[in-house]
Amino acid sequence: MSSERKPKATPSTAERVGGSVKKPEQPHSDEPDFKTLFHAWLESHRASLVDSLGRLLKQPIGSFFTCLVMAVALSLPMGLALLLDNVERLGGSWQRAAQISLFMQLDVDAGAGERLRDEVADMPDVATADWVSREQALEEFQQLSGLGEALKELPENPLPGVIVVTPNEVDKDKLEALRLQLAELPGVQQAQLDLLWVERLTAILKLGDRFVFGLTLLLIATLLLVIGNTIRLHIENRRTEIEVVKLVGGTDGYVRRPFLYMGAIYGLGAGLIAWLLLAYGLGWLNEAVVSLAGLYGSDFGLEGVPAGDALSLVIGAVLLGYIGAWLAVARHLSELAPR
C-alpha cells in the first residue's frame, strides 16, 4: 500500500519575502493623545506670546508711552494709600489723639495710682496706660502755663494724679464704652475723653479712605479705556489678517489669544514702571519730610513701597491689562467675520 502524501502548504507572501509570519497590525485610533494635544496647546500659546511681544518691540516708543500712561494712573491711588499709612505713624499713632485721661482723687498716692495703672493696662481694649503723679503734673503745668512763680505760692499742690489711657482703636462707640468702664474704677474722680476730636479724627480718616477708593475706581476705569483703545487699534491694523484666519477655520479663541497676551504685557510693563515711580517719588519726598521732622526734633521718615504691595500692584496691573484686552476683543470680534 502506498502511503498518501499530504499536500505541502503553499508559503504565504510574508514567508516568501520576509522569512517569518507577521501578526496583523491592530487598528489604531486617528485621534491624538493628551500629550500631543498638550504640547500643541503650549506651542500655540508660546507662538502667540512671542508674536505679541515682537509686535510691541517693533514700536518701542508707542508701547513705552502706553505703559507710562497706565503706570501714572496706577501709581496715584497706591501713592496716596502709602502716604496715608505713613501719616498714621506720625507722632506714634492716631490712637494717641484719642487718649482717655483718668483724673484721680487727691487722696490717691503714687503707689495706688501705679497699681491701678497696671490694672488698666491689662484691659483688652487698652493699648498702653501711663501714670502721671501729682508732682509731675504740677511741674509740667508750671512749664507750659508760665505761671511757675505764682504756683509756688500755693499752700499745696491742687493737681491730682492722672492715668493716661491709649485705646487700641479709634471708634466712637467703643471709646465711650471704655470711658464709662474706666470711670467706675475705685479712686477715679473723672474720666475725660475729647469725643469731638475723636469724631473729627474719624471723619478725616474716612474721608481719606473714601477719596482713595473713589480715585482708584476712576483710574481703573481709565486704565480699561486706555488698554481697550490701544488693543482696538491693534485689531484694526490686523483686520485683514484676522479675516483670513477666520476664513480658513480659525476659532475665536485663536484670534483672541495674541491680543490677550498683548494686554497682559502692557499691564506688566505698567506695573513695573509704577513701582519704580512710587519708589523714586517716596524717596525724593522723604528728603523734605526728614528735614522738616528734624526741625521738630523727630526722626520721622517715610517708609518705602513694601514688597507685598509692590507685588500686588504688578499682579493687579497684569489683570487689568488682560481684562481690558478681553473686553476690547469681545466687542470687535463679531465685526471680524470674513466678508
DSSP letters of 73-116? Answer: HHHHHHHHHHHHHHHHTTTS-GGGGG-EEEEEPTT--HHHHHHH
Is the pLDDT assigned to residue 6 strictly greater than 60? no
Start-to-end CA distance of the chain, whole Å, equals 91
What average pLDDT does range 285-304 have in this prediction?
79
Q: Are residues 137 and 284 in the same domain?
A: no
Whole-number Å distance between alpha carbons of 75 and 210: 17
Task: Note the pLDDT of residue 20.
Answer: 43
pLDDT at 150 over 60: no
Element (H, E) at 104: strand 100-104
Confidence at 268, pLDDT banded by 50, 70, 90: very high
Average pLDDT of the chain?
Answer: 79
Same domain, 184 and 79: no
Asked if the model's pLDDT at residue 275 lies above 90, the reply is: yes
Q: pLDDT tens digits for 73-106?
A: 889 888 888 887 777 666 444 555 678 888 888 8
Same domain, 213 and 302: yes
Is residue 171 domain-shared with residue 213, that is, in the same domain? no
Per-residue cell: 127: 493699648
Q: Is residue 321 part of a domain?
A: yes
pLDDT at position 314, please?
Answer: 92
Residue 110 lies in a domain: yes
Evaluate if residue 296 carries a pLDDT over 80.
Answer: no
pLDDT digits (tens, 9 = 90+) for 33-53: 777 877 877 887 788 888 888
Q: Is the pLDDT of residue 29 over 60?
A: no
What percentage of the chain has pLDDT greater than the value 70?
79
Verify that 215 and 332 share a domain, yes or no.
yes
Q: Are residues 77 and 210 in the same domain?
A: yes
Same domain, 321 and 220: yes
Instruction: Decide which of 168, 200, 232 is a domain's last residue.
Output: 200
13 in a structural domain: no
Q: 14: pLDDT confidence band, cut at 50, 70 and 90?
A: very low
Residue 21: the pLDDT is 45
Q: Please report whether residue 7 resides in a domain.
A: no
Reported as a pLDDT band with limits 50, 70 and 90, residue 336 is low
User: CA–CA separation, 270 vs 64, rounded Å?
Assistant: 9
Three-class SS state of 153: coil
- Average pLDDT of the segment spanning 279-303: 82
Residues 77 and 110 in one domain: no
In a domain, 114, yes or no: yes
Q: Which cell is 297 given?
A: 526734633
- Domain containing 166 — which CATH number? 3.30.70.3040
Query: Is 31 contained in some domain?
Result: no
Q: Does the residue 111 lie in any domain?
A: yes
Nearest Cα residue to 300 out of 130, 88, 127, 99: 88
pLDDT at 277: 92
- Same domain (yes/no): 234, 305: yes
Three-class secondary structure of residue 331 per DSSP:
helix
> What is the DSSP-derived secondary structure letter of residue 106?
T
Domain boundaries, position 251: 48-91+206-336
Answer yes or no: do 238 and 279 share one domain: yes
The predicted pLDDT at position 273 comes to: 94
Element of type H or E holding 101: strand 100-104
Does the pTM surpass 0.75? The reply is no
Flag whether 67 is in a domain: yes
Residue finishing a domain among 152, 176, 200: 200
Contact 289, 304 (CB under 8 A): no
The per-residue pLDDT for range 160-217, each reduced to its tens digit, is: 888 888 888 777 788 888 888 888 888 888 888 876 776 776 788 788 888 888 888 9
Residues 131 and 168 placed together within one structural domain of the fold: yes
* CA-based nearest residue to 180, from 160, 188, 324, 53: 188
The structural domain count of the chain equals 2
Closest of 68, 75, 72, 123 to residue 100, by C-alpha: 123
Same domain, 158 and 241: no
- Picking from 177, 200, 223, the residue at the C-terminal end of a domain is 200
